[in-house]
Amino acid sequence: MYATTIRFVLGPDTQWESERIADVVAGMLSDQRGCESFVFLGDYETGEYEWIVFWNSREDAAVAYEERYSQFCAMIGDGFQWRPAIQLFQVYDAKYTASS
């Protein structure tokens, strides 16, 4: 499994905008091949946002980037304080052993 993180800053007083964008992106991701799940995080005071999207494969994440990144940037418009930062990670499912 892989995870893509998308970090961007819209600035203070952008909660409504960030949630509107998240709702649209959630619909897009739900239809995207290989998308397992996603979570949207926000610091509404500073206007900093981070999304984490879990993918079945690196290829699924790459296809989604090619198909959706320009749409995402168009939704944000010129409102961001710096260009969104995107990273791809391989997910490790930690093994937990209860201590006695």
Q: pLDDT of 5-16, one tens digit each?
A: 999 998 899 999
Q: What is the pLDDT of residue 79?
A: 63
2-90: CATH, from 3.40.50.10680, 3.40.50.300, 3.30.70.100, 3.40.1410.10: 3.30.70.100
Rounded to whole angstroms, the Cα distance separating 53 from 37 reads: 6
The token duo for 48 is: 């900093």
Torsion angles phi and psi, residue 76, rounded to 5? -70, -35
Domain-wise residue ranges, the chain:
2-90
How does residue 50 score in pLDDT terms, banded at 50, 70 and 90? Answer: very high
Rounded to whole angstroms, the Cα distance separating 73 from 65 reads: 11
Token look-up 């005071």 returns 45
